[in-house]
Homo-oligomer: A and B are copies of this chain.
Protein backbone atom coordinates (compact mmCIF):
# COMPACT_ATOMS: atom_id res chain seq x y z
CA UNK A 1 0.00 0.00 0.00
CA UNK A 2 1.39 3.40 -0.87
CA UNK A 3 0.51 6.55 0.95
CA UNK A 4 -0.57 8.09 -2.33
CA UNK A 5 0.50 11.32 -3.90
CA UNK A 6 3.88 12.62 -2.94
CA UNK A 7 2.59 15.99 -4.18
CA UNK A 8 -0.07 16.01 -1.49
CA UNK A 9 1.24 19.26 -0.13
CA UNK A 10 0.83 21.07 -3.43
CA UNK A 11 -2.65 22.27 -2.69
CA UNK A 12 -2.21 22.88 1.02
CA UNK A 13 -3.82 25.80 2.83
CA UNK A 14 -6.16 28.60 1.91
CA UNK A 15 -5.73 28.31 -1.87
CA UNK A 16 -7.27 24.82 -1.66
CA UNK A 17 -10.51 25.88 0.00
CA UNK A 18 -12.73 24.51 -2.78
CA UNK A 19 -11.13 21.06 -3.02
CA UNK A 20 -13.28 18.21 -1.75
CA UNK A 21 -12.29 14.73 -0.54
CA UNK A 22 -13.91 11.30 -0.38
CA UNK A 23 -12.95 8.48 1.96
CA UNK A 24 -12.96 4.82 1.02
CA UNK A 25 -13.05 1.43 2.74
CA UNK A 26 -12.26 -1.92 1.10
CA UNK A 27 -13.37 -4.56 3.58
CA UNK A 28 -11.99 -8.06 3.03
CA UNK A 29 -11.98 -11.24 5.06
CA UNK A 30 -8.24 -10.82 5.70
CA UNK A 31 -7.47 -7.10 5.40
CA UNK A 32 -9.17 -3.73 5.50
CA UNK A 33 -7.80 -1.01 3.20
CA UNK A 34 -8.78 2.59 3.96
CA UNK A 35 -7.80 5.82 2.25
CA UNK A 36 -8.88 9.17 0.89
CA UNK A 37 -8.88 10.79 -2.53
CA UNK A 38 -9.64 14.16 -3.95
CA UNK A 39 -13.19 14.02 -5.32
CA UNK A 40 -11.90 14.43 -8.88
CA UNK A 41 -9.83 11.25 -8.54
CA UNK A 42 -6.58 13.11 -9.14
CA UNK A 43 -4.89 12.62 -5.75
CA UNK A 44 -4.64 9.75 -3.26
CA UNK A 45 -3.95 10.21 0.44
CA UNK A 46 -3.32 8.02 3.43
CA UNK A 47 -3.91 4.62 1.87
CA UNK A 48 -3.33 2.03 4.58
CA UNK A 49 -4.00 -1.68 5.02
CA UNK A 50 -4.59 -3.44 8.33
CA UNK A 51 -5.73 -6.94 9.31
CA UNK A 52 -9.53 -7.25 9.51
CA UNK A 53 -9.51 -9.35 12.69
CA UNK A 54 -12.90 -10.87 11.92
CA UNK A 55 -12.79 -12.63 15.31
CA UNK A 56 -13.63 -9.27 16.92
CA UNK A 57 -17.11 -9.53 15.47
CA UNK A 58 -19.01 -6.90 13.48
CA UNK A 59 -18.87 -4.23 16.21
CA UNK A 60 -15.14 -4.69 16.69
CA UNK A 61 -14.45 -4.55 12.95
CA UNK A 62 -16.60 -1.40 12.56
CA UNK A 63 -14.62 0.23 15.40
CA UNK A 64 -11.38 -0.58 13.55
CA UNK A 65 -12.75 0.86 10.30
CA UNK A 66 -13.93 4.07 11.99
CA UNK A 67 -10.59 4.43 13.73
CA UNK A 68 -8.73 4.02 10.42
CA UNK A 69 -11.02 6.54 8.74
CA UNK A 70 -10.36 9.11 11.46
CA UNK A 71 -6.63 8.59 10.99
CA UNK A 72 -7.08 8.95 7.22
CA UNK A 73 -8.96 12.22 7.71
CA UNK A 74 -6.28 13.58 10.04
CA UNK A 75 -3.45 12.55 7.72
CA UNK A 76 -5.20 14.04 4.69
CA UNK A 77 -5.89 17.25 6.59
CA UNK A 78 -2.23 17.46 7.60
CA UNK A 79 -1.20 17.15 3.96
CA UNK A 80 -3.79 19.42 2.37
CA UNK A 81 -5.10 21.79 5.03
CA UNK A 82 -8.61 20.49 4.35
CA UNK A 83 -11.31 21.15 6.93
CA UNK A 84 -13.61 18.40 8.21
CA UNK A 85 -16.41 19.77 6.01
CA UNK A 86 -14.26 19.23 2.92
CA UNK A 87 -14.83 15.45 3.31
CA UNK A 88 -17.97 14.58 1.38
CA UNK A 89 -18.46 11.04 2.59
CA UNK A 90 -17.33 7.40 2.62
CA UNK A 91 -17.63 4.75 -0.07
CA UNK A 92 -17.53 1.20 1.30
CA UNK A 93 -16.75 -1.97 -0.65
CA UNK A 94 -17.67 -5.27 0.99
CA UNK A 95 -18.01 -8.93 0.07
CA UNK A 96 -21.64 -9.68 -0.80
CA UNK A 97 -24.41 -10.38 -1.23
CA UNK A 98 -25.53 -6.92 -0.17
CA UNK A 99 -28.70 -4.87 -0.04
CA UNK A 100 -27.27 -1.69 -1.51
CA UNK A 101 -30.42 0.33 -1.00
CA UNK A 102 -30.61 -0.42 2.72
CA UNK A 103 -26.84 -0.54 3.13
CA UNK A 104 -26.88 -4.09 4.53
CA UNK A 105 -24.37 -6.90 4.31
CA UNK A 106 -26.84 -9.76 3.83
CA UNK A 107 -24.32 -12.51 4.42
CA UNK A 108 -20.51 -12.82 4.31
CA UNK A 109 -19.28 -16.33 5.00
CA UNK A 110 -15.71 -15.05 5.64
CA UNK A 111 -16.82 -12.62 8.35
CA UNK A 112 -19.84 -14.52 9.65
CA UNK A 113 -22.14 -11.48 9.43
CA UNK A 114 -25.85 -11.53 8.58
CA UNK A 115 -28.06 -8.55 7.69
CA UNK A 116 -25.53 -6.19 9.18
CA UNK A 117 -26.13 -2.44 8.55
CA UNK A 118 -22.51 -1.77 7.62
CA UNK A 119 -23.15 1.43 5.65
CA UNK A 120 -24.95 3.27 8.43
CA UNK A 121 -22.74 1.95 11.20
CA UNK A 122 -19.63 3.27 9.44
CA UNK A 123 -21.34 6.47 8.25
CA UNK A 124 -22.62 7.24 11.76
CA UNK A 125 -19.21 6.42 13.18
CA UNK A 126 -17.53 9.20 11.19
CA UNK A 127 -20.68 11.36 10.88
CA UNK A 128 -20.54 11.38 7.08
CA UNK A 129 -22.85 10.09 4.31
CA UNK A 130 -21.84 6.61 3.15
CA UNK A 131 -22.53 4.24 0.25
CA UNK A 132 -22.09 0.47 0.07
CA UNK A 133 -21.29 -1.67 -2.96
CA UNK A 134 -19.92 -5.09 -3.80
CA UNK A 135 -16.11 -5.45 -3.59
CA UNK A 136 -15.75 -6.78 -7.15
CA UNK A 137 -17.89 -3.91 -8.48
CA UNK A 138 -15.68 -1.47 -6.59
CA UNK A 139 -12.47 -2.97 -7.97
CA UNK A 140 -13.85 -2.67 -11.51
CA UNK A 141 -14.97 0.91 -11.00
CA UNK A 142 -11.56 1.80 -9.55
CA UNK A 143 -9.81 0.55 -12.68
CA UNK A 144 -12.32 2.49 -14.78
CA UNK A 145 -11.89 5.70 -12.78
CA UNK A 146 -8.11 6.01 -12.73
CA UNK A 147 -6.67 2.62 -13.74
CA UNK A 148 -6.34 0.23 -16.68
CA UNK A 149 -9.85 0.89 -18.05
CA UNK A 150 -9.81 4.67 -17.76
CA UNK A 151 -11.85 6.40 -20.44
CA UNK A 152 -13.78 3.29 -21.57
CA UNK A 153 -17.57 3.20 -21.70
CA UNK A 154 -18.04 -0.59 -21.48
CA UNK A 155 -15.83 -2.59 -19.14
CA UNK A 156 -15.78 -6.10 -17.65
CA UNK A 157 -13.69 -6.46 -14.51
CA UNK A 158 -12.71 -9.95 -13.33
CA UNK A 159 -11.06 -10.47 -9.96
CA UNK A 160 -9.47 -13.86 -9.48
CA UNK A 161 -8.73 -14.95 -5.95
CA UNK A 162 -10.35 -17.51 -3.66
CA UNK A 163 -13.34 -17.05 -5.95
CA UNK A 164 -13.86 -15.26 -9.25
CA UNK A 165 -15.81 -12.04 -8.91
CA UNK A 166 -16.74 -9.52 -11.52
CA UNK A 167 -18.14 -6.12 -12.22
CA UNK A 168 -19.74 -4.59 -15.30
CA UNK A 169 -19.55 -0.99 -16.40
CA UNK A 170 -22.05 -0.11 -19.11
CA UNK A 171 -22.25 3.30 -20.68
CA UNK A 172 -19.79 4.55 -18.07
CA UNK A 173 -21.77 3.41 -15.02
CA UNK A 174 -21.71 0.35 -12.78
CA UNK A 175 -24.46 -2.04 -13.81
CA UNK A 176 -26.18 -3.86 -10.93
CA UNK A 177 -29.03 -5.71 -12.63
CA UNK A 178 -32.49 -6.26 -11.18
CA UNK A 179 -31.36 -7.06 -7.62
CA UNK A 180 -27.60 -6.57 -7.44
CA UNK A 181 -26.56 -10.04 -8.64
CA UNK A 182 -25.19 -8.79 -11.99
CA UNK A 183 -21.53 -9.34 -12.77
CA UNK A 184 -21.12 -12.85 -11.36
CA UNK A 185 -18.93 -13.76 -14.30
CA UNK A 186 -17.17 -16.49 -12.29
CA UNK A 187 -20.45 -18.37 -12.14
CA UNK A 188 -21.08 -18.68 -15.84
CA UNK A 189 -20.85 -22.28 -17.01
CA UNK A 190 -18.16 -23.09 -19.56
CA UNK A 191 -18.69 -26.87 -19.34
CA UNK A 192 -22.27 -27.82 -18.62
CA UNK A 193 -21.34 -31.27 -17.33
CA UNK A 194 -18.10 -30.13 -15.76
CA UNK A 195 -16.67 -29.65 -12.26
CA UNK A 196 -19.03 -28.97 -9.40
CA UNK A 197 -18.71 -25.38 -8.22
CA UNK A 198 -19.06 -24.12 -4.67
CA UNK A 199 -22.20 -22.24 -5.79
CA UNK A 200 -23.97 -25.53 -6.55
CA UNK A 201 -23.75 -25.19 -10.33
CA UNK A 202 -21.56 -27.33 -12.62
CA UNK A 203 -18.69 -26.24 -14.82
CA UNK A 204 -18.53 -22.61 -13.66
CA UNK A 205 -15.44 -20.66 -14.68
CA UNK A 206 -14.62 -20.36 -10.95
CA UNK A 207 -14.42 -24.14 -10.65
CA UNK A 208 -11.49 -24.10 -13.12
CA UNK A 209 -9.67 -20.82 -12.73
CA UNK A 210 -9.99 -19.55 -9.14
CA UNK A 211 -6.88 -19.75 -6.98
CA UNK A 212 -7.93 -22.97 -5.20
CA UNK A 213 -9.05 -24.50 -8.54
CA UNK A 214 -5.64 -23.74 -10.07
CA UNK A 215 -3.94 -25.41 -7.07
CA UNK A 216 -6.29 -28.40 -7.32
CA UNK A 217 -5.56 -28.84 -11.02
CA UNK A 218 -1.83 -28.68 -10.26
CA UNK A 219 -2.23 -31.46 -7.67
CA UNK A 220 -4.19 -33.52 -10.18
CA UNK A 221 -1.48 -33.03 -12.79
CA UNK A 222 1.22 -34.05 -10.29
CA UNK A 223 -0.69 -37.25 -9.53
CA UNK A 224 0.22 -38.32 -13.07
CA UNK A 225 3.81 -38.62 -11.87
CA UNK A 226 5.40 -36.12 -14.26
CA UNK A 227 8.54 -34.36 -12.98
CA UNK A 228 8.04 -30.92 -11.44
CA UNK A 229 9.70 -28.58 -8.95
CA UNK A 230 6.43 -28.00 -7.17
CA UNK A 231 6.51 -30.91 -4.66
CA UNK A 232 9.95 -29.77 -3.51
CA UNK A 233 8.73 -26.15 -3.22
CA UNK A 234 6.15 -27.25 -0.64
CA UNK A 235 8.43 -29.65 1.24
CA UNK A 236 6.67 -32.65 -0.27
CA UNK A 237 3.28 -31.70 1.23
CA UNK A 238 1.10 -31.31 -1.86
CA UNK A 239 -1.76 -29.94 0.21
CA UNK A 240 0.36 -26.82 0.65
CA UNK A 241 0.41 -26.10 -3.10
CA UNK A 242 -1.38 -22.83 -3.87
CA UNK A 243 -1.91 -20.90 -7.07
CA UNK A 244 1.14 -18.81 -6.07
CA UNK A 245 3.24 -22.01 -6.05
CA UNK A 246 2.13 -22.66 -9.63
CA UNK A 247 3.03 -19.12 -10.83
CA UNK A 248 6.40 -19.26 -9.08
CA UNK A 249 7.21 -22.64 -10.65
CA UNK A 250 6.04 -21.44 -14.05
CA UNK A 251 8.38 -18.46 -13.79
CA UNK A 252 11.18 -21.01 -13.38
CA UNK A 253 9.99 -22.82 -16.52
CA UNK A 254 8.58 -25.82 -14.72
CA UNK A 255 6.83 -27.65 -17.57
CA UNK A 256 3.97 -28.98 -15.44
CA UNK A 257 3.32 -25.55 -13.93
CA UNK A 258 3.44 -24.03 -17.44
CA UNK A 259 0.84 -26.56 -18.51
CA UNK A 260 -1.44 -25.58 -15.60
CA UNK A 261 -1.04 -21.87 -16.47
CA UNK A 262 -1.82 -22.54 -20.15
CA UNK A 263 -4.92 -24.49 -19.15
CA UNK A 264 -5.94 -21.64 -16.86
CA UNK A 265 -5.51 -19.27 -19.80
CA UNK A 266 -7.71 -21.51 -21.92
CA UNK A 267 -10.49 -21.61 -19.32
CA UNK A 268 -10.33 -17.88 -18.71
CA UNK A 269 -10.18 -17.27 -22.47
CA UNK A 270 -13.35 -19.31 -22.96
CA UNK A 271 -15.21 -17.37 -20.28
CA UNK A 272 -13.94 -14.04 -21.57
CA UNK A 273 -14.82 -14.90 -25.19
CA UNK A 274 -18.40 -15.44 -24.00
CA UNK A 275 -18.37 -12.02 -22.36
CA UNK A 276 -17.08 -10.43 -25.58
CA UNK A 277 -19.90 -11.98 -27.63
CA UNK A 278 -22.58 -11.13 -25.08
CA UNK A 279 -21.38 -7.81 -23.80
CA UNK A 280 -18.91 -6.42 -26.38
CA UNK A 281 -16.73 -4.42 -23.96
CA UNK A 282 -13.86 -2.11 -24.86
CA UNK A 283 -11.73 -3.40 -21.98
CA UNK A 284 -11.55 -6.57 -19.89
CA UNK A 285 -9.49 -5.95 -16.75
CA UNK A 286 -8.13 -8.94 -14.86
CA UNK A 287 -7.02 -8.57 -11.27
CA UNK A 288 -5.76 -10.88 -8.57
CA UNK A 289 -2.80 -13.15 -8.02
CA UNK A 290 -3.18 -14.97 -11.34
CA UNK A 291 -2.02 -11.85 -13.20
CA UNK A 292 1.43 -12.42 -11.62
CA UNK A 293 1.85 -15.06 -14.32
CA UNK A 294 2.11 -12.13 -16.79
CA UNK A 295 2.51 -12.89 -20.50
CA UNK A 296 2.65 -16.62 -19.72
CA UNK A 297 -1.04 -16.20 -18.91
CA UNK A 298 -2.13 -13.28 -21.08
CA UNK A 299 -0.70 -14.46 -24.40
CA UNK A 300 -2.46 -17.84 -24.55
CA UNK A 301 -5.54 -16.25 -22.97
CA UNK A 302 -5.80 -13.64 -25.73
CA UNK A 303 -5.19 -16.37 -28.35
CA UNK A 304 -8.07 -18.42 -26.91
CA UNK A 305 -10.36 -15.38 -27.00
CA UNK A 306 -9.39 -14.71 -30.65
CA UNK A 307 -10.11 -18.34 -31.48
CA UNK A 308 -13.60 -18.17 -29.98
CA UNK A 309 -15.14 -14.69 -30.08
CA UNK A 310 -16.51 -12.64 -32.98
CA UNK A 311 -13.74 -10.76 -34.76
CA UNK A 312 -15.21 -7.24 -34.42
CA UNK A 313 -15.66 -7.84 -30.68
CA UNK A 314 -12.06 -9.11 -30.39
CA UNK A 315 -10.63 -6.26 -32.48
CA UNK A 316 -12.17 -3.54 -30.31
CA UNK A 317 -11.33 -5.07 -26.92
CA UNK A 318 -8.19 -4.78 -24.80
CA UNK A 319 -7.61 -7.60 -22.28
CA UNK A 320 -5.26 -6.24 -19.65
CA UNK A 321 -4.10 -6.69 -16.07
CA UNK A 322 -5.37 -4.18 -13.54
CA UNK A 323 -3.15 -1.18 -12.83
CA UNK A 324 -4.16 -0.47 -9.23
CA UNK A 325 -3.31 -3.83 -7.61
CA UNK A 326 -4.25 -3.90 -3.92
CA UNK A 327 -5.67 -0.36 -4.11
CA UNK A 328 -8.31 -1.04 -6.78
CA UNK A 329 -10.98 -1.86 -4.19
CA UNK A 330 -10.54 1.22 -2.04
CA UNK A 331 -10.16 3.54 -5.05
CA UNK A 332 -13.32 1.99 -6.52
CA UNK A 333 -15.20 2.33 -3.22
CA UNK A 334 -14.37 6.05 -3.36
CA UNK A 335 -15.47 6.11 -7.03
CA UNK A 336 -18.82 4.45 -6.19
CA UNK A 337 -19.49 7.21 -3.66
CA UNK A 338 -18.50 9.80 -6.27
CA UNK A 339 -20.67 8.18 -8.95
CA UNK A 340 -23.60 7.77 -6.57
CA UNK A 341 -23.42 11.49 -5.85
CA UNK A 342 -23.04 12.48 -9.49
CA UNK A 343 -19.38 13.51 -9.18
CA UNK A 344 -17.61 10.80 -11.23
Q: Which residues of B contact A177 (CB under 8 A)?
A: 154, 279-281, 313
The stretch among A48-56, A191-199, A221-229, A294-302 that forms the contact with chain B is A191-199
**Contact B267 A176, beta carbon cutoff 8 Å:** no
C-alpha gap A188/B313 in the complex (Å) = 13
**Contact B182 A279, beta carbon cutoff 8 Å:** yes
Q: Which of B176, B275, B316 contacts A278 (CB 8 A)?
A: B275
Q: Which of B179, B267, B282 contacts A313 (CB 8 A)?
A: B179
A304 CB, min distance to chain B CBs, angstroms: 9
C-alpha gap A175/B97 in the complex (Å) = 25
**Contact B270 A185, beta carbon cutoff 8 Å:** no
A274-B199 contact in complex given A97-B312, A178-B281, A280-B176, C-beta closer than 8 Å:
no
A33 CB, min distance to chain B CBs, angstroms: 27
A272 CB, min distance to chain B CBs, angstroms: 11
Q: Which residues of B contact A339 (CB under 8 A)?
A: none
Q: Tell me the chain A residues, 154-171 only, with Cβ under 8 Å from chain B.
A: 154, 166, 168, 170-171
**Contact B183 A154, beta carbon cutoff 8 Å:** no
A307 CB, min distance to chain B CBs, angstroms: 8
Per assembly, the copies of the chain total 2
Q: How many residues of A contact B (CB 8 A)?
A: 50
**Contact A313 B181, beta carbon cutoff 8 Å:** yes
C-alpha gap A282/B178 in the complex (Å) = 6
C-alpha gap A181/B171 in the complex (Å) = 15
Q: Which residues of B contact A266 (CB under 8 A)?
A: 192
Q: Does A68 interact with chain B (Cβ within 8 Å)?
A: no
Q: Does A201 interact with chain B (Cβ within 8 Å)?
A: yes
C-alpha gap A276/B308 in the complex (Å) = 22
C-alpha gap A178/B283 in the complex (Å) = 9
Q: Does A38 interact with chain B (Cβ within 8 Å)?
A: no
Q: Does A323 interact with chain B (Cβ within 8 Å)?
A: no
Q: Tell me the chain A residues, 133-162 only, with Cβ under 8 Å from chain B.
A: 153-154
- Closest residue of chain B to A199 (Cβ to Cβ) is B310
- Closest residue of chain B to A208 (Cβ to Cβ) is B192
Q: Which residues of B contact A183 (CB under 8 A)?
A: 278, 280
Q: Does A277 interact with chain B (Cβ within 8 Å)?
A: yes
Q: Which residues of B contact A153 (CB under 8 A)?
A: 178
**Contact B192 A267, beta carbon cutoff 8 Å:** yes
C-alpha gap A270/B188 in the complex (Å) = 9
**Contact B310 A181, beta carbon cutoff 8 Å:** yes
**Contact B190 A189, beta carbon cutoff 8 Å:** yes
